[in-house]
Structure 1
Amino acid sequence: MMSLCHNKINISCVKSSWSNDIRASLYSLMVLIILTTVAGNLLVIISISHFKQLHTLNNWLIQSMAIVDFLLGCLVMPYSMVRSVEHRWSFGEVFCKIHTSIDIMLSSASIFHLSFISIDRYYAVCDPLRYKTRINILVISLMIFISWSIPALFAFGMIFLELNFKGAEEMYYKHSHCIGSCSVFFSKISGVLAFMTSFYIPGSIMLCIYCRIYFIAKGQERSIHDAKQKVQIGLEERNGISRSRERKAVKTIGIVMGVFLTCWCPFFVCMVMDPFLDYTIPPTLNDALIWFGYLNSTFNPMVYAFFYPWFRRALKIILVGKIFQKDSSRSKLFSE
């Protein structure tokens, strides 16, 4: 006989049948993911906030994204962990809606930030002479505002107005709704809308911009190589530095794109296909893919920060306690 979360109610959800050893292993893995996400993004936030040399416009975007990922690790992942391992929700229906809304909002906001960061890097690498005129404080502020506001309006509006299962109420109560459950449900229309808003559009922008940066950087590298014998040594050295920065930018954006697609693509593909497959995708698989998507927030600080020498220097200062010394905020992390 199946074990129910609420034994006296026949519409209660099925409890987890996993053994204590399996649950303990899952809890350990998920706690590790949560702590890594929180610690990594907190270090990015502290570094950019504390060190004056890092108070640049493009770092505002990185810091804003780190705040999003930090909040995801603090506010969303712990409750998702209990839900995933125990296969039940013990925190009430209202908090379920709040948790689901914040989950969708922060996950989407993180993806929006990645998209805007790729736009910023495009102008920095491909149009450096006009970068400061195109990417100014107003533009960066607008990017950050959009990255927070649109996901918030979309997530809370869809969940609290119950637009996510509008038109598919019968399927919702048949497949998803039960006491002790807190799983997000999408109809065909809302699923496609969520797929386009949270993944396809920002992901396509990232992919197109990365391809554009890649081909432009390759073209610049060929031009520098062809002119190599005709320039002075000093100019050669400067071109070498510029070429190195271009390759590093291309490599970093390529890794960002690869990590983003690897983490989020499986979840969003299954999410948008599930309504068209009559909701036959197992809930356990959906849960696993959600956690795979969460890993993007775990890896973001590693990709965007750990790949840069300035962050390694900032991390060393923080970990050895020098951050509490007078004028530590003026520490030189890189040459201008």
Structure 2
Amino acid sequence: MESKFFIYRIDVVEDKLLCNESSNVPDITAVTTSYLLCIFVGSLSVLIMCGNLLVIISIIYFKQLHTPTNYLILSLAVADLLVGVVVLPFSMILSVGSYWQLEDLLCKVRGSFDIFLCTSSILNLCFISVDRYYAVCQPLRYRIKINVRVVVIMILVSWTVSAVIGIGVTILGPKQGQCNRRCALFQTTSSTIMGAVFSFYLPAIIMFAIYLKILMVAWRQARSIQNTTKTGATVSKMERKATKTLAIVMGGFLICWTPFCLSMIIHPLSNDTIPVPVIETFKWLGWSNSVLNPCLYAFFYSWFRSAFRMIITGEIFHGDFSKSKLF
């Protein structure tokens, strides 16, 4: 029996839609590309799942990590984990296979979860910036303004709003028939712009403004640090380090997702479409952000490094280390 291999490509059709099409390509190059894509996506999914599971287990297991800020980091790690569990596997299926009976469903599920999880990540980062604002700019009011109840509300809001946007943009987008039985990477012009504004640009602007304010306050605090007590200086230093690290996390997210989100706006409004390989690269760059955050935590936070080491070596299974002093 002759083997058939499928490779994934994206075509531009009417109304500036960017559609995915699976087609029979028997040559060896297509087969090799499909295999390499599977290996790449599979490896990326495993890295995303392992890294974010380490973050999730660390925060849940070690009581010292039960803080409002870490609960927000936990929520962010769950969103990143789901990218590796749901979005990437569905993308791989759509990329290397042709299943017309299921493609419409897979396309909608992948698209909805993609928008949903990307929005959830940036909203979680937005709420983390609010947490950092009170920790650095209003430290005396921090425990009053930011507590577990407030953080739970923040997390619920981020996931609920993200779900509404993800489902809404998918419903407003083109049906598969409008895309010639192909999976649209970009939706209609109106839904694409609305989704980009509310899922990325508006939260990004808010985060940038908050961190700019934090930077100004931290700079003033650094100049007057010699007038504080030693204990106060230590606490301030820890908060500033945490803020700096989380600002880097935010920066990593923006670097990974800005190219694709810019193309979401430029593509529907421009007569000259962006080259398809460029857009595909931007999309994978955005998804790869989900593996970046655990690496940043391990690099900048000594307590996360200690927690990761105890989990990876299996030390936590040989006794109750939940109350261990990590910092």
Same fold (TM over 0.5): yes
Equivalent residue for 1:15, pick from 11, 19, 23: 23
Q: Hey, what's the Cα distance between the residues in 1 that align with 2:204 and 2:306?
A: 32
Q: Hey, what's the Cα distance between the residues in 2 that align with 1:46 and 1:267?
A: 31
Q: Deviations over 1:240-288 (max 9, x none)?
A: 5245325423431332232122100000000111111247223333222
Q: 1:16 to 1:277 in 2, by over 3 A?
A: farther
Query: Which has the larger displacement, 281-290 or 237-246?
Result: 237-246
* 1:65-214 equivalence runs, <5 A: 65-84=76-95, 86=96, 91-159=102-170, 161=171, 163-165=172-174, 173=178, 177-179=179-181, 181-214=182-215
Question: Is residue 257 from structure 1 mapped to residue 266 from structure 2 by the alignment?
Answer: no
Kept after mapping to 2: 8 A contact 1:217/1:246: no
Query: Which has the larger displacement, 140-149 or 321-330?
Result: 321-330
Q: Which amino acid aligns with 1:102?
A: F
Q: Which amino acid aligns with 1:195?
A: A
Following superposition, the deviation at residue 20 of structure 1 comes to: 3.2
Q: Hey, what's the Cα distance between the residues in 2 that align with 1:277 and 1:269?
A: 12
Aligned CA-pair RMSD: 2.7
Matching residue of 1:317: 310
Kept after mapping to 1: 8 A contact 2:126/2:207: yes
User: 5+ unaligned residues in a row in structure 1: which ranges?
Assistant: 6-10
Q: Which amino acid aligns with 1:178?
A: N
Q: How many residues align?
A: 308
Kept after mapping to 1: 8 A contact 2:20/2:184: no
Q: Deviations over 1:133-182 (max 9, x none)?
A: 001222111110111001111111231x3x1349xx9xx93xxx133x32
Question: Is residue 281 from structure 1 mapped to residue 274 from structure 2 by the alignment?
Answer: yes
Matching residue of 2:323: 330
Kept after mapping to 2: 8 A contact 1:165/1:185: no
Q: Which amino acid aligns with 1:287?
A: E
Following superposition, the deviation at residue 113 of structure 1 comes to: 0.7
Q: Deviations over 1:58-90 (max 9, x none)?
A: 211111111111111101111213434x38566
Q: Deviations over 1:277-309 (max 9, x none)?
A: 247223333222111111221112222454211
Give secondary structure in 2 for the equivalent of 1:209. helix
Q: Which amino acid aligns with 1:260?
A: F
Q: Deviations over 1:85-142 (max 9, x none)?
A: x385664312321221111111111111111111111111221111010012221111
The structure with the larger Rg is: 1
Equivalent residue for 2:285, pick from 281, 285, 292: 292
TM-score by length of 1: 0.83
Matching residue of 1:8: none
Give secondary structure in 2 for the equivalent of 1:330. coil
Q: Deviations over 1:186-241 (max 9, x none)?
A: 2222222111111011111111111111111111111225x4xxx7xxx3x43552
Q: Which amino acid aligns with 1:28?
A: I
Question: Is residue 59 from structure 1 mapped to residue 67 from structure 2 by the alignment?
Answer: no
Q: Deviations over 1:16-74 (max 9, x none)?
A: 76433333333333222211111110001111111112122221111111111111110
Kept after mapping to 2: 8 A contact 1:16/1:87: no
Q: 1:87 to 1:262 in 2, by over 3 A?
A: farther
Aligned identity (percent) is 41
Q: Hey, what's the Cα distance between the residues in 2 that align with 1:42 and 1:114?
A: 18
Matching residue of 2:12: none
User: 5+ unaligned residues in a row in structure 2: which ranges?
Assistant: 8-18
Q: 1:208 to 1:88 in 2, by over 3 A?
A: farther
Q: Hey, what's the Cα distance between the residues in 2 that align with 1:155 and 1:56?
A: 29
Q: 1:294 to 1:13 in 2, by over 3 A?
A: closer
Q: Which amino acid aligns with 1:205?
A: I
Q: 1:117 to 1:106 in 2, by over 3 A?
A: same
Matching residue of 1:36: 47
Matching residue of 2:15: none
Give secondary structure in 2 for the equivalent of 1:15. strand
Kept after mapping to 2: 8 A contact 1:110/1:297: no
